[in-house]
């Protein structure tokens, strides 16, 4: 691996971490000595990369420094193509169009060889089940409203029917929307149950986005849910 490739890889590793990562961990992943790592960090800082931290504490990449898309590796291109195609097939219309547009923008700035790799990827998404009983009967408009409520931290009022057919009125604080192969599930704090609950979108009889916002932040709520579920947060 050339030093240029190593510097790019170091930037990518730092991008994956939202919190400081030790020099020892970075050097181990790159397969270089700590001394070489410190030189690489200094080189990137000299080129304008906003890397905070120091030896013995850890390093974190601050916002404001980006790499051009043409630096994507073959595996990264395959991941982008597969992920975008999944969203285009499985999400609501607006999100599907956004995925297609994003893929087109990325393709437009890639060099010819990488663009061919992106457009000719052999990783395909199979057709979804269109039956209403598959847990995906929510309308495009409902999914759009749910996503908007999550983004703006608005409370939702649902008329919800559980697996036994019993109906209830729920006021929830939505923090995530899970897209499964045959299910769409809202992760939310339920004011009625005073706890986190998961709501299948196909069981929603009616939905209202309120003007009220829930206390705290969506990120904090999602972190609390992850802890409760025993899900390890991304580094």
Percent of the chain scoring above 90 in pLDDT: 39
Q: State how far the Cα of 88 lies from the Cα of 86, in Å rounded to an integer.
A: 5
Contact (Cβ atoms closer than 8 angstroms) between residue 209 and residue 174: no
* pLDDT for the residue 128: 58
Place 209 in a pLDDT band, splitting at 50, 70 and 90: very high
Query: Does the pLDDT value for residue 133 go beyond 90?
Result: no
DSSP 3-state of 21: strand
In the predicted model, what is the mean pLDDT of residues 93-111?
82
Q: State how far the Cα of 57 lies from the Cα of 123, in Å rounded to an integer.
A: 41
- Indicate yes or no: pTM above 0.85: no
Q: State how far the Cα of 102 lies from the Cα of 120, in Å rounded to an integer.
A: 16
Q: Among the listed ranges 34-38, 129-133, 207-211, which one has the minimum average pLDDT value?
A: 129-133
Q: State how far the Cα of 180 lies from the Cα of 201, in Å rounded to an integer.
A: 11
> What count of other Cβ atoms lies within 10 Å of the Cβ of residue 63?
6
Q: State how far the Cα of 85 lies from the Cα of 77, in Å rounded to an integer.
A: 12
Query: Does the pLDDT value for residue 181 go beyond 80?
Result: no
**Which residue shows structure tokens 């999914």?**
143
Q: State how far the Cα of 5 lies from the Cα of 201, in Å rounded to an integer.
A: 45
* pLDDT for the residue 131: 43
Contact (Cβ atoms closer than 8 angstroms) between residue 159 and residue 205: yes
Looking only at the bridges linking them, the beta strands covering 154-161 and 58-61 are unpaired
Query: Does the pLDDT value for residue 68 go beyond 70?
Result: no
Query: Does the pLDDT value for residue 41 go beyond 60?
Result: yes
Query: Does the pLDDT value for residue 228 go beyond 60?
Result: yes
191 is written with which tokens? 């004011």
Which is more confident, 104 or 195? 195
Which is more confident, 113 or 131? 113
Which uninterrupted H or E stretch holds 74? helix 74-90
Distances (CA, A) of 60 to 42, 47, 63, 69, 160: 13, 16, 10, 21, 44
How many angstroms from the chain centroid is the CA of residue 227?
A: 18
62 is written with which tokens? 């601050």
How many residues in total does the chain contain?
235
Half-sphere exposure at residue 132, Cβ-oriented, CA atoms within 13 angstroms:
5
Which is more confident, 44 or 199? 199
Q: Over the chain, what is the mean pLDDT?
A: 84
């Amino acid at each position: 691996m050339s030093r240029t490739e190593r510097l790019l890889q170091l930037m990518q590793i730092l991008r994956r971490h939202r919190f400081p990562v030790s020099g020892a961990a970075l050097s181990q992943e790159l397969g270089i000595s700590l001394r070489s790592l410190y030189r690489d960090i200094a080189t990137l800082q000299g080129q304008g990369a906003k890397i905070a931290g120091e030896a013995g504490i850890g390093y974190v990449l601050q916002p404001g420094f980006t790499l051009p898309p043409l630096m994507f590796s073959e595996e990264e291109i395959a991941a982008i193509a597969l992920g975008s195609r999944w969203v285009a097939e499985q999400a609501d219309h607006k999100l599907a169009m956004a995925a297609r547009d994003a893929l087109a923008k990325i393709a437009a700035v890639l060099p010819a060889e990488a663009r061919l790799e992106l457009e000719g990827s052999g990783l395909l998404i199979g057709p979804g089940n269109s039956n209403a009983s598959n847990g995906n009967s929510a309308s495009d408009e409902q999914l759009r409203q749910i996503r908007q409520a999550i983004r703006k931290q608005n409370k939702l009022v649902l008329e919800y029917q559980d697996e036994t057919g019993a109906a209830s009125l729920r006021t929830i604080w939505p923090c995530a929307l899970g897209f499964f192969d045959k299910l769409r599930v809202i992760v939310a704090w339920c004011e009625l149950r005073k706890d986190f609950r998961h709501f299948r979108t196909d069981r929603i009889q009616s939905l209202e986005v309120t003007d009220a916002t829930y206390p705290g932040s969506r990120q904090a709520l999602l972190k609390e849910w992850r802890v409760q579920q025993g899900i390890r947060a991304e580094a």
